[in-house]
Amino acid sequence: MISNTATRQLQVFINAENIGLLRENNGLWQFEYAQRWLQQSQAFTLAPYLPLQAEPRQITATRLGRDLV
C-alpha cells in the first residue's frame, strides 16, 4: 500500500555542486540549502524568496509553479 504522506524531493545542483533540497510533504513544499553551499563565500540565493539561511523555507505551490514555468 502506498502512503498518501509520501515525501517527494529533488536534489538541486549547479554544475556538480549540491545547492540544496526541494521537498514536498502532504502538499507543503519547502527548500533547504545545503550546509556546504551556505559556507561558501560565493554562495547566492536561488530566488528572492529563498534567502541564504540554514532553516528550511516553506514555499507556496503558486510561487513554485510560477518559477518552474
Tell whether pTM > 0.85. no
Give the bridge partners for 25, in sequence order: 28
Given a contact cutoff of 8 angstroms between Cβ atoms, the answer to whether 9 and 21 are in contact is: yes
Distance CA 27, CA 37 (A): 26
Please report the pLDDT score of residue 5 as a whole number.
55
- The Cβ of residue 22 has, within 10 Å, a number of other Cβ atoms equal to 19
Profile the chain (69 residues) by mean pLDDT over runs of 10 residues: 67 95 88 96 92 92 53
Q: 33 near 20, Cβ under 8 Å?
A: yes
Per-residue pLDDT, 12: 96
> What is the pLDDT, as a whole number, of residue 35?
97
